């Protein structure tokens, strides 16, 4: 079994655990996500789609990655890790 995120208008609306063949019975767009992927890294192998998806996360189809919504306007998205970062003291 694997984790799958339902995508509506580029936003994750839910995440389920299912076999891939079962998804044909669920309406909508479902994309696999890896519970062990965070910061575009996987402790035991190849990362899958940047980060584990959660409800409210963004799915960037152009880069085929999931990332969290922007926490504050000061945060910038690191497109290597797909995590939000605050500017460093030297950049303020």
pLDDT tens-digit map of 78-91: 999 999 999 875 55
Q: Which DSSP string do the residues of the chain spell out, in sequence order?
A: -EEEEEEETTEEEEEEEE-GGGGGGS-SEEEEE-TT-BTTBBTTB---SSS---TT-EEETTTTEEEPPPSSTT-EEETTTTEEEPPPGGG-
pLDDT value at residue 90 = 53
Q: Is this structure's pTM higher than 0.85?
A: yes
């Amino acid at each position: 079994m694997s984790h799958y995120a339902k995508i509506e208008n580029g936003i994750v609306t839910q995440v389920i655990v299912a076999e891939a063949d079962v998804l044909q019975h669920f309406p909508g767009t479902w994309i696999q996500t890896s519970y062990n992927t965070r910061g575009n890294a996987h402790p035991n192998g190849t990362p899958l789609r940047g980060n584990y998806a959660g409800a409210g996360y963004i799915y960037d189809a152009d880069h085929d990655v999931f990332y969290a919504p922007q926490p504050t306007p000061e945060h910038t998205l690191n497109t290597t890790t797909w995590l939000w970062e605050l500017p460093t003291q030297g950049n303020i």
